[in-house]
Amino acid sequence: MTEQGTTHVIEVTINGRLYSRTVEARQLLVHFLRDTLDLTGTHIGCDTGSCGACSIILNGKLVKSCMMLAPQADGAVIETVEGLAQDGELNPLQESFSRNHGLQCGYCTPGMLMSAKALLMADPHPTDEAIRLALAGNLCRCTGYTTIVAAVRAASEQPAESSSTPPALGSGERAV
């Protein structure tokens, strides 16, 4: 232990890739993702555990990455928003957010997507009430939530093994 605080070598599997880095004890997990690994899809909103923009899935459980220290994640398996799209194809949840206008400024979207993913992992066909409860830890200041709930509902109604991608709205590149 030192005046500067301890440092720790941690190994974390993120979206299927193993990372090994030396971190300071005081580094928040969200800063480890964003600053150390440049995985900036995970956002920082309130930095007090209220807004959910930093939500990730850690060992299968939805957590707020601003409410953990990086060394606490040693050995963990993490999913972030970057892991959703595969080979340039949006996953059905992302596609559904796009089709249902489940975002405006998009700042909360990474957290919303991870909360929705965690919900659908546990409950593939949730009621609207279950969707709203599952999103209770995620704040959105644009949409009024209605379109987000609709997006999650629509994604949950897709056949589980569906390989068809719904037609995209409009053209151009969409960043999620």
Draw the binding track, 100-119, toward another protein (x: CB under 8 A; -: no contact).
---------------x--xx
Residues 6+ apart with CB under 8 A from 158: 92, 96
According to the binding rule CB under 8 A, does residue 1 interact with another protein? Answer: yes
Neighbour-count burial of 37, counting CB atoms closer than 10 A to its CB (0-12 exposed, 13-18 middle, 19+ buried)? middle
Out of 37, 69, 77, 142, the residue judged to bind another protein by CB under 8 A:
69
Our CB check for another protein shows the closer of 105 and 133 to be 133
**E runs forming strands in the chain:** 7-14, 17-24, 55-58, 61-64, 77-79
Kindly state the smallest distance separating residue 15's Cβ from another protein, in Å: 19
Q: Is 52 left (phi over 0), alpha (psi -120 to 50) or beta?
A: left
- When asked if residue 24 is in the footprint of another protein (CB under 8 A), the reply is yes
Give the largest CA-CA distance in the chain. 57
Name the DSSP letter for residue 2. Answer: -
Among 14, 53, 62, 154, the residue binding another protein under the rule CB under 8 A is: 62
Task: Pick out residues in 123-162 that bind another protein (CB under 8 A).
Answer: 133-134, 136-138
Q: What is the DSSP letter of 15?
A: T
List residues binding another protein (CB under 8 A): 1-6, 8, 24-26, 28, 31, 47-49, 52, 55, 61-64, 66-69, 71-72, 74, 115, 118-119, 133-134, 136-138
